[in-house]
Amino acid sequence: MSRNDKSVEVKATDLKWKKVDVPDTLDDFDGFYGLEELDGVNVKVVDGKVTFTVSEQATGETEQDQSTAAIPNDDAEVDSSDELIEFKNFDDIKEGELSVASSDSEEGDEVSDDAGADADADELTSNVFNANVNFSEVEVELPDWQALGDFSMTTLQGLSKLGYTKPTEIQSKTIPLALEGHDIMGKASTGSGKTLAYGIPILENLIKGKDSARPVALIFTPTRELASQVTSHLTNLGESIFTGRNKFAIMSLTGGLSIQKQERVLKYDGSGQIIIATPGRFLELLEKRSDLVARFAQIETLVLDEADRLLQDGHFDEFTKILKLLSQARREKEGKRSHWQTLIFSATFSLDLFNKLASNGQGHTLKESDNELEEVLKQLMTKIHFKERPTIIDANPFDKVNMQVKEALIECAPLERDLYVYYFISMFPGTTLIFCNAIDSVKKLTSFLNFLRIPSFQIHSSMSQKNRLSNLEKYEKKAQFNKTLHKPTVLIASDVAARGLDIPGIQHVIHYHLPRTADVYIHRSGRTARGQSEGVSVMICSPQEAMGPLRKLRKVLSSGSESQRRQKRGRGLKWQKDVSLLPIEVDIVRQLKGRSQLAAELANHDVSSTSLNKDENWLKKAADDLGIDVDSDDEKKDVYLAKNRNRKLNKTLGKDEYKMRKLELNSMLDQPVRKDMRKKYLTGGLTNLADELVKKRGHGSIIGQSDTDALETLKRRKGKK
Ligand SMILES: Nc1ncnc2c1ncn2[C@@H]1O[C@H](COP(=O)(O)OP(=O)(O)OP(=O)(O)O)[C@@H](O)[C@H]1O
């Protein structure tokens, strides 16, 4: 198509497909192997959909001319965009799918009306072309993204491939300013796309940068998992930049992995242009290799993801040391005036952070009327040297918990937490992430649920990095498989997994223990309802907790300036009205009680005996290292060790006892749980349960229970109020 031709968009079905003769060796199976090709057509992906444009001149000609016009002759200028389209995996296309595309349909074929043909054409385009198009080889248009800035085709192709046709609110507000180099403090709810809000401008700088030796950005995250996730998010988005570029251009630097290997990789040309690091490991590297200080002092952008967490606890000291080293080196090399761009993001710039920062400085306690973010920023500016006063972008000014999260509460006796976790997962067999405040509880709950034949995986901070990542992968794989069977899959974690982790498809978050602070609650609950999806967050607490920690938590969550809240919700809600009680089917709880108790005993045995073995091995190893014999009486003499040992021994079972309980539990688990226990016969009562069973309708493991979706159950309940 020559440049000065105007082009018009045409449907796939209106294109002049040309059959390609298939060699005689292949039986043609009624065209199933029929290859079709096109030329003189410009392919473009707009808003994620494949479109075809041909020159206006070509569409106005006769059938005969069009077919020759479609074949560029020697002297006609062949536009680089003219393409022969060959679709890979042709045999993936179901038979007849292309029949809509071929213009020379056989005589007597049923000619569907226009609307029907259009619908078929759209279906064909989506099934065949969008599913098969290789985004890195076609031109992409994403108008809503391109309105934010002049993006490279690499970024647009990456966004198209990921299916992100529209930016989220925090992305729309952040990206234009970030591209201009401004300092930004961004706040947006969990799962709202903050990673790409700072990631896309940085990727654009990498793509457009001329000097592959100059580092572009340093991104700090509080946990290794989050660093590895941000690395894969950015690598996925910018996938096509790696052809002809060092594959370590984007890399993570975290603990738990070999520091020697990381040093070696950093020596390759073009490596580490974008670094995603945890402060501890990064500081270790800077202190070990002064040349890295000079190198990374040249960055264009510094990012603090989960900034409030990074500036709390242990991270803060490491972080300020890193900034001091880099700022000093920058001043020496490029003078006082030169400074990198700083972007800080979180879903919670919490009061706790403010009070911590204020307590170290000359700050004052925040009054209700103050603007929380402004005050936190004032404090931050005494700790972090910004290039200018950062622009505050608050994409979530009113609500703290993501609006797409439906919250609920289960009140139960302190010793019935396990039973109600089992009840919830039995009733709502989806994907569930359970948070515990203690690692011991994580271990016990994992064992408890596995005894109840509920596939459960654990991640907590005392596991090695390798085990944490492999358990996360095992969970995701199992969840993918169980989803097709409508069976539950559970991940149980300590708060190391509370922040930032973007685990696909988590439907429910359960707070087995109430979190210690409001921001932990917000981040935990934000592991569900990612992107555009919705989710459920359930707190399990005793009546005593309901009047103590829960009351405090709900009041902090429902704080924020009252006028803002009233404006947003029409009237301030009392905290009790914020959260609905999860409806409980008491007769089902009763049926689950026996098996829950047995599983709890078996889990206690498992965890205690494992721990006792570990203690013994540790004691033996310590004695060997000291070259002394361990005398069994020594333990008895040490009061603490003896007490600790007895506590664990009391939870272990004898071999026969263990076997008996396991047999008893398994025979119980083979009995179906039945809603409304009083129904003796499957065919009696209002619903014919036998019919439901045969047709596999309703619940997979509770006969007579139809609801399997917690979100719908809670929405329906909210509607009743
Ligand atoms: N423009 C977009 N359109 C659709 N999905 C998106 C878009 N941007 C990001 N996502 C997806 O939304 C999910 C959440 O993104 P991300 O992890 O960046 O959220 P976040 O705000 O950083 O969350 P958290 O506060 O928990 O760290 C991810 O699965 C991401 O791939």
Mean pLDDT of 521-537: 93
Q: Is 158 in the pocket of ligand 1 (CB under 6 A)?
A: no
Do residues 184 and 393 lie in contact, with contact meaning Cβ atoms separated by under 8 Å? yes
Residue 241: predicted pLDDT: 75
User: Residue 184 Cα, ligand 1 centroid: separation in angstroms?
Assistant: 18
Residue 547: predicted pLDDT: 86
Q: What angle do CA 360, 366, 368 make, to 5 degrees?
A: 165
Does the pLDDT of residue 720 top 90, yes or no?
Answer: no
Nearest alpha carbon to residue 320 among 278, 362, 283, 363: 283
Residue 629: pLDDT band (50, 70, 90) is confident
Q: Could you tell me which CATH number the domain at 169-394 has?
A: 3.40.50.300
- Element containing residue 361 per DSSP (H, E): none
Q: Given CA atoms 280, 284, 287, 289 in this order, what sign does their dihedral have?
A: negative
Of 195-209, 501-515, 668-682, where does mean pLDDT reach its minimum? 668-682
Q: How many residues does the chain have?
A: 721
pLDDT in tens, 139-187: 788 999 999 999 999 999 999 999 999 999 999 999 999 999 999 999 9
Instruction: State how far the Cα of 653 lies from the Cα of 604, in Å rounded to an integer.
Output: 9
Residue 675 DSSP SS3 = coil
Average pLDDT, the chain: 79
Q: Is 192 in the pocket of ligand 1 (CB under 6 A)?
A: yes
pLDDT in tens, 114-139: 666 666 656 655 555 555 666 666 77
Which residues belong to CATH 3.40.50.300 in the chain? 169-394, 408-584
Does the pLDDT of residue 643 top 50, yes or no?
Answer: yes
Fold adopted by 408-584 = Rossmann fold (3.40.50)
* DSSP conformational letter for 223: S
Give me 513's structure tokens.
Answer: 């223990």
Mean pLDDT of 616-628: 77
Model ipTM? 0.98
User: Residue 182 Cα, ligand 1 centroid: separation in angstroms?
Assistant: 22
Residue 281: predicted pLDDT: 94
Q: Given CA atoms 689, 692, 693, 694 in this order, what sign does their dihedral have?
A: positive
More confident residue, 455 or 689: 455
Residue 63: predicted pLDDT: 45
Q: Which residues of 597-635 are buried (b: 16+ CB within 10 A; e: fewer)?
A: ebbbbbbbbbbbbebbeeeeeeeeeeeeeeeeeeeeeeb
Q: Is 608 in the pocket of ligand 1 (CB under 6 A)?
A: no
* DSSP conformational letter for 239: G
Residue type, 134: N
Q: Is 144 in the pocket of ligand 1 (CB under 6 A)?
A: no
Instruction: State how far the Cα of 284 lies from the Cα of 322, in Å rounded to an integer.
Output: 10
Of 313-322, 566-575, 669-678, where does mean pLDDT reach its minimum? 566-575
pLDDT in tens, 430-460: 999 999 999 999 999 999 999 999 999 999 9
Q: Is 168 in the pocket of ligand 1 (CB under 6 A)?
A: yes
Q: Given CA atoms 7, 11, 14, 15 in this order, what sign does their dihedral have?
A: positive
User: Residue 530 Cα, ligand 1 centroid: separation in angstroms?
Assistant: 6
Residue 563: predicted pLDDT: 42
Residue with the smallest CA separation from ligand 1 atom 27 is 500
- Element containing residue 35 per DSSP (H, E): strand 35-37
C-alpha distances in Å from residue 118, one per residue of 14, 510, 663: 10, 47, 61
Residues 6+ positions from 143 with CB-CB distance below 8 Å: 46, 47
pLDDT in tens, 283-321: 999 999 999 999 999 999 999 998 888 887 667 888 889
Residue 384: pLDDT band (50, 70, 90) is confident
Going by their DSSP bridges, the two strands 431-435 and 673-674 should be labelled as unpaired
pTM above 0.80, yes or no: no
**Gyration radius of the chain's alpha carbons:** 31
Q: Cβ-count burial of 686 within 10 angstroms (0-12 exposed, 13-18 middle, 19+ buried)?
A: exposed
Residue 86: predicted pLDDT: 37
Q: Is 540 in the pocket of ligand 1 (CB under 6 A)?
A: no
Q: Is 535 in the pocket of ligand 1 (CB under 6 A)?
A: no
Nearest alpha carbon to residue 191 among 171, 163, 217: 171
Nearest alpha carbon to residue 202 among 216, 215, 188: 216
Q: Is 531 in the pocket of ligand 1 (CB under 6 A)?
A: yes
Residue 271 DSSP SS3 = coil
Residue 680: pLDDT band (50, 70, 90) is low
Going by their DSSP bridges, the two strands 535-541 and 508-511 should be labelled as parallel
pLDDT in tens, 480-516: 999 999 899 999 999 988 787 889 899 999 999 999 8
Residue 83: pLDDT band (50, 70, 90) is very low
Mean pLDDT of 50-65: 60
Residue 77: pLDDT band (50, 70, 90) is very low
Residue 337: pLDDT band (50, 70, 90) is confident
Residue 88: pLDDT band (50, 70, 90) is very low
Instruction: State how far the Cα of 456 lies from the Cα of 631, in Å rounded to an integer.
Output: 39
| Exposure of 116 in the CB half-sphere (CA atoms within 13 A) | 5
Residue with the smallest CA separation from ligand 1 atom 20 is 191
Number of other CB atoms surrounding residue 447 within 10 Å: 22
